[in-house]
Amino acid sequence: MFVYRLELTLHEKVFFASREIDELFQTEPVLGNYALTYALGLAVTPYRLSEREDRPYYREDFSILNDAGIYVTPGTPLGAPALEVERFNGMVESYWYKMANNAVVSDLAVRLDNARAPATNFPQKGRLRMLSRGNRFACYVFAREALMLPRYIRLGKFLGKTHVAVTHEWRDPPTHTARAVQVDAFLNPLDLSAETQLGYYDFFNLPPVPLIRNAQLSGPVYALGDVHLPVGMGFGFPPLETPTRGRGRRRAS
């Protein structure tokens, strides 16, 4: 088993809609492990979904990685995260326009023939709260075989450039059975093995799956320096129609 500790440094602003409140689209200071897996090139999927592919294919993409023994943890911020807010306005400048299917329509055919505009879900104006340049995050990559990881990746809706540095590498790190050990890093509760028992934790309800942090857990763990991470993590899959729920006692964050 190879374990890599990656330090990610943002060279450009990074935005993804963790939470939407009216016209404010917020980026939470955490990098989801699904997004990191795609960005690192470990799973490959088209950037845009076609009309036939109207849902993400997490199960199909990540089942291959589970079979290969590859797993990526969420990215935890190092230090206090820096955020900034920018305003955007995509309203048209034509004399006539109207709202239709959550989009601004200025097409003359729509105006004259009352044709139905294609449905869309792109906001026309609002504010974006983004991660600033210089933010740093740490994540861990597990693999049965050695991996060649890229030095630069693209993250977020606008594909912000991010530097990747492997700061530590372990081969067959030591493990032990812990009881009520504190894990400060972000974890995906769907990815924990059945041998890992959760106590309390901070819960973050983020799409596509919730994450937890500051968790107290018991079970087999890797000893990676002064960091402990659960043994046996693998990609779990959220149900398509029902909400996901974490295990254990939830503590307000």
Residues 139, 247: one domain?
A: yes
Number of other residues whose CB lies within 10 A of the CB of residue 146? 9
Mean pLDDT over 192-196 rounds to 94
Residues 174, 222: one domain?
A: yes
Residues 62, 161: one domain?
A: yes
Mean pLDDT (the chain) is 85
Could you report the per-residue pLDDT of 139-163, keeping only the tens digit for each? 999 999 999 999 999 999 999 999 9
Q: What contacts 103, CB < 8 A, 6 or more positions away?
A: 117, 120, 122, 124
Q: What contacts 175, CB < 8 A, 6 or more positions away?
A: 220, 221, 222, 223, 231
Structure tokens at 139: 């994540």
CATH number of the domain bearing residue 51 = 3.30.70
* DSSP-assigned beta bridge partners for residue 228: 223
Q: What contacts 65, CB < 8 A, 6 or more positions away?
A: 37, 42, 43, 71, 235
- CB–CB of 31/155 below 8 Å? yes
Could you report the per-residue pLDDT of 2-20, keeping only the tens digit for each? 999 999 999 999 999 898 8
CA 206/CA 208 separation, integer angstroms: 6
Residues 107, 198: one domain?
A: no
Residues 102, 170: one domain?
A: no
- CB–CB of 86/121 below 8 Å? no
pLDDT at 48: 67
Residues 178, 221: one domain?
A: yes
pLDDT-derived band at 242 (thresholds 50, 70, 90) equals very low
Mean pLDDT over 187-209 rounds to 93
Give the total number of structural domains in the chain: 2
Residues 39, 94: one domain?
A: no
Domain with 98, as residue range(s), is 90-124
pLDDT at 98: 59
Residues 158, 66: one domain?
A: yes
Q: Is the pTM of this model over 0.85?
A: no
Residues 232, 114: one domain?
A: no
pLDDT-derived band at 104 (thresholds 50, 70, 90) equals low
Residues 157, 247: one domain?
A: yes
Residues 174, 71: one domain?
A: yes
Q: Out of 124, 146, 176, pick the residue that ends a domain.
A: 124
Residues 70, 162: one domain?
A: yes
